[in-house]
């Protein structure tokens, strides 16, 4: 069974600084995808970044990047140059082969002006 | 492209009443999901459709929840009768099969009093 663990319920960061959100997971599959989703107060879940497990290169999307450690089953999200609009809940997610997505419990990030 | 449409945005009902939510996925997305998100938790899958067939409904409380996806496009999720513990945000998402990525609607916040 897929499991996703986010051990940081809340985090804060000063505007323009860098913050890293942690995620660990468990899966018996060898090839899979990992995701980070953002959920602002508006409630809509927005895809931040996606990583394919067979790719050794860490995914990057503008100010967002991941540190993917396959052997350690770790998938952290780094947000550089934090902006006020980054304030949101962040969820790590792992789909199984049937594309049923399993989500962590989330990390609430607050960007402080 | 138009996003996933959901309605209503908010709904308040009394326990034992019934309620229905509607979802229109992104055009061309064969897979549609309904998730339940209780406050402070990550989304939990209720049901997954592939076109108009059910792929996974193992976590759907079938004694009170039902869902259908007629003609493989729009979907409705119904709760009858509602319980206090059904208070949550109900998220609809759609996806292409590969690469997997959920595209979410704005969700419906249900309050059962």
- Round to whole Å and give the CA distance between B80 and B19: 7
Region class of A62: left (phi > 0), else alpha (psi between -120 and 50), else beta:
left
For residue A111, what is the DSSP state? E
- Round to whole Å and give the CA distance between B48 and B100: 14
Which residues of A touch chain B, with CB atoms under 8 Å apart? Answer: 4, 33, 35, 37, 42-47, 50, 52, 91, 93, 95, 98-101, 103-106
In the structure encoding, which two tokens stand for residue B25, read together?
């996925």
pLDDT of B76: 97
pLDDT of B1: 67
Percent of chain A with pLDDT over 90: 84
Q: What are the chain A neighbours of B92 within 8 Å (beta carbons)? A: none
Domains of chain A: 3-112 (2.60.40.10)
Q: What are the chain B neighbours of A108 within 8 Å (beta carbons)? A: none
Domains of chain B: 5-112 (2.60.40.10)
* Other Cβ atoms within 10 Å of A71 Cβ, number: 5
The residue that leads in pLDDT, B109 or B72, is B109
pLDDT of A34: 96
- Round to whole Å and give the CA distance between A19 and A30: 29
Q: On the CB side of B89, how many CA atoms lie within 13 Å of its CA?
A: 21
pLDDT of A81: 98
Whose tokens are 């209720």? That residue is: B46
Q: Which of B31, B55, B91 sits opposite A45 (nearest CB)?
A: B91
pLDDT of A67: 97
Tell me whether residues B91 and A52 touch, CB distance under 8 A: no
- Round to whole Å and give the CA distance between A109 and B14: 34
For residue A59, what is the DSSP state? P
Q: What are the chain B neighbours of A100 within 8 Å (beta carbons)? A: 45, 48, 55-56
Query: Which stretches of chain A drop beneath a pLDDT of 50?
Result: none
CA distance A56 to chain B (A): 17
Q: Which residue of chain B is at minimal alpha-carbon distance from A45?
A: B104
Q: What are the chain A neighbours of B26 within 8 Å (beta carbons)? A: none
pLDDT of B33: 96
pLDDT in tens, B30-89: 999 999 999 989 999 999 999 889 999 999 999 999 999 988 899 999 999 999 999 999
Q: Which residue of chain A is at minimal alpha-carbon distance from B98?
A: A99
- Identify whether the C-beta of residue B33 lies closer than 8 Å to the C-beta of residue B43: no
Tell me whether residues A44 and B105 touch, CB distance under 8 A: yes
> For the residues of chain B, what is the DSSP string, one character each?
----EEE-SEEEE-TT--EEEEEE--TT--EEEEEEE-TTS--EEEEEEETTEEEE-TTS-TTTEEEE-GGGS-EEEEESS--GGG-EEEEEEEE-TTTT--EE---EEEEE-
Region class of B36: left (phi > 0), else alpha (psi between -120 and 50), else beta:
beta
């Amino acid at each position: 069974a897929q499991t996703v663990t986010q051990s940081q319920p809340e985090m804060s960061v000063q505007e323009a600084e860098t913050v890293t959100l942690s995620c660990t997971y468990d899966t018996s599959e060898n090839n899979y995808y990992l995701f980070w989703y953002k959920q602002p107060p508006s409630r809509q879940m927005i895809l931040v970044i996606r990583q394919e497990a067979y790719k050794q290169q860490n995914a990057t999307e503008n100010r967002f990047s991941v540190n993917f450690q396959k052997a350690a089953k770790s998938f952290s999200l780094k947000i550089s140059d934090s902006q006020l609009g980054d304030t949101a809940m962040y969820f790590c997610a792992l789909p199984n082969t049937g594309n049923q997505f399993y989500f962590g419990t989330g990390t609430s990030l607050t960007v402080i002006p | 492209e138009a996003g996933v449409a959901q309605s209503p945005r908010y709904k308040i009902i009394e326990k034992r009443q019934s309620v229905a939510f509607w979802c229109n996925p992104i055009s061309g997305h064969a897979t549609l999901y309904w998730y339940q998100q209780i406050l402070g938790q990550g989304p939990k899958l209720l049901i997954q459709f592939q076109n108009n067939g059910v792929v996974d409904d193992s976590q759907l409380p079938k004694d009170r929840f039902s869902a259908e996806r007629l003609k493989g496009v729009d979907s409705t999720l119904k709760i009858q009768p509602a319980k206090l513990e059904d208070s949550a945000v109900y998220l609809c998402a759609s996806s292409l099969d590969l690469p997997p990525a959920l595209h979410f609607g704005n969700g419906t916040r249900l309050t059962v009093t």
